[in-house]
Structure 1
């Protein structure tokens, strides 16, 4: 899912050449950075935080704002906080790039190409999508264009477009376009494989697998199909005790989140509906997409309207209404900040 901003690349390059962009009216600039090294940074705000239950006050302060950190991207995705470097990484999928943002350094290009490394031109959503860290702290990418799960073969502080393939085939057939991923504590890699990175989506003649799967990659390199029943599997996450596995389905006709029991062998069973937002998807921007769960077990699920917040019993506590189709979210190290990728924006909300 994305919305193309034709001016995105030009605006980003202009800001990078200038070195820094002071916060101005949105008609005058598409980059928001610090105005001074001595004065506190003041960011533009947007949207609203909708409270449906008093329990949300224990998660987000009543006076919390949605801050815009940067804008001008084609379709931002895959936010990842690097705690040791105190910076955010995120993908801009169509131009095949990853950017970094920090309070001290503002916005910078981090890595390109990020998801498609061939010199043969092709269309579609070629860049990286989700970005995660493995147990050794190495960058792992869902690469749309190369249709694989890959690991960057370079240190985080010296990024290079050198990649090692972790998974690119299931039963001898090429994956569609890995979209989102999460590691289990034992090192198993779980990922979803919808067709969004193919040039013609599900109708692409290059599509080799006749379904959209959710997979588990074990340390020995074996790929296990967990389910092929979802039409557009997308974001995924484990409950804090890793006994429950959640998957978003970004299909406008079946905009749902599913929950599964995790078996001792790592497979999943007892699939059941967690929450159905199909009716909201008819009138609100966005679909079930990226998904994160905090240490208290609250689900932060990007979907119709922004980021929907649920308790473990699927009670909808409220929504961070960004006003944009919101693709994904990520916490900082102590979960005091939630970073959001929303169309051509990077945003954040401070948490309690």
Structure 2
């Protein structure tokens, strides 16, 4: 028995437990011995959450010892703790209007500011928002941080990161539109990578990626990586960050357009050594800072969307289709 649900860029096939879908745990492929410096050879991927619709945006909150993550179609942010497992944290999380709708309407990327504020990429409300409540007493009260470019409403912000200088960078693909690229509510003709400075000015950094997705800043503070979900440039691009915080000198980091595996290039993270952990076809692709592929965490029947680390970088949390996994790396 199969049930097909249109989810964003791909057609996810949800198969019942009897077909083995819900049992997949993920396997670690050591392509280079370099991977052994960050992941033990005997490390195991374990499932800690299931039963969601499409999981995204994991964020570990060390102070509260909890993992937050988005269930995008469910319009919900869940929290997970070792003691209680999965609980609703915020609902609605990304679409707050009264008009009924479906699709990818909820929150996606989550980010914790240096002030301890939860920032949320909200697909349905088409903005980057801040939760106006303490982390340990969440409320569905949101303040718009970035909602427009050049007087036009954004598409559906997807992922975000803040530089040490305080500049907010975010990607704005079209996955939050119920009608896709031809949705009549779409006001911007392209999908962009943006910067918002500390004064609140939003500037376009790149409009040439068909569907920009995950992004992160390298430890050198001078380089950014952005994921391109699909198409001929499916993979990851690098940019230099100039003295004004603008992205320059775009170039290919790694291209996977010829890979036929499950899933596109979505969320990513960079560790303190500059290693890149990027979701892509059939799982998580792990590169050193020089774009050498050193390993993969493979999920052949799940679409892996994003990942997060604990502060000590010894534990990784992975969102994949309707599940969340944990990998104790060291």
Task: Classify the TM-score, shorter chain.
Answer: over 0.9
Residue of structure 2 in register with 1:311 after alignment: 288
Deviation at 1:45, TM superposition (A): 7.0
Residue of structure 1 in register with 2:5 after alignment: none
The match for 1:331 among 281, 303, 309 is 309
Q: Is the 8 A contact 1:5 1:74 kept in 2?
A: no
Q: Is the 8 A contact 2:231 2:257 kept in 1?
A: yes
2:201 maps to 1:226: no
2:124 maps to 1:137: no
- In structure 2, what is the Cα distance between the partners aligned to 1:98 and 1:6? 21
Residue of structure 1 in register with 2:264 after alignment: 287
The match for 2:274 among 292, 297, 301 is 297
- In structure 1, what is the Cα distance between the partners aligned to 2:139 and 2:279? 30
Residue of structure 1 in register with 2:4 after alignment: none
Matches within 5 A, 1:239-258: 239-258=218-237
Shift of the 246–271 alpha-carbon distance from structure 1 to 2, 3 Å rule, reads: same
Q: Is the 8 A contact 1:195 1:201 kept in 2?
A: yes
Q: How many residues align?
A: 319
- In structure 2, what is the Cα distance between the partners aligned to 1:214 and 1:252? 17
Deviation at 1:186, TM superposition (A): 1.5
The match for 2:57 among 54, 78, 98 is 78
Shift of the 102–5 alpha-carbon distance from structure 1 to 2, 3 Å rule, reads: farther
Residue of structure 1 in register with 2:216 after alignment: 237
Q: Is the 8 A contact 1:94 1:126 kept in 2?
A: yes
Deviations 1:152-172 (A, max 9, x none): 000001111000001111010
- In structure 2, what is the Cα distance between the partners aligned to 1:104 and 1:334? 21
Question: Secondary structure, in 3 states, of the residue corresponding to 1:278?
Answer: coil
Deviations 1:294-320 (A, max 9, x none): 111100000011000001111000100
2:248 maps to 1:269: yes
2:89 maps to 1:110: yes
Q: Is the 8 A contact 1:134 1:187 kept in 2?
A: no
Measured on the aligned residues, the alpha-carbon RMSD in Å equals: 1.8
Q: Is the 8 A contact 1:138 1:156 kept in 2?
A: yes
Residue of structure 1 in register with 2:299 after alignment: 322
Shift of the 123–107 alpha-carbon distance from structure 1 to 2, 3 Å rule, reads: closer
Q: TM-score, normalised by structure 1?
A: 0.87
Shift of the 134–66 alpha-carbon distance from structure 1 to 2, 3 Å rule, reads: same
The match for 1:190 among 169, 179, 182 is 169
The match for 1:56 among 35, 41, 46 is 35
Q: Which runs of 5+ in 1 are unaligned?
A: 9-25, 32-43
Deviation at 1:322, TM superposition (A): 2.4
Question: Secondary structure, in 3 states, of the residue corresponding to 2:258?
Answer: helix
Q: Is the 8 A contact 2:228 2:235 kept in 1?
A: yes
Q: TM-score, normalised by structure 2?
A: 0.93
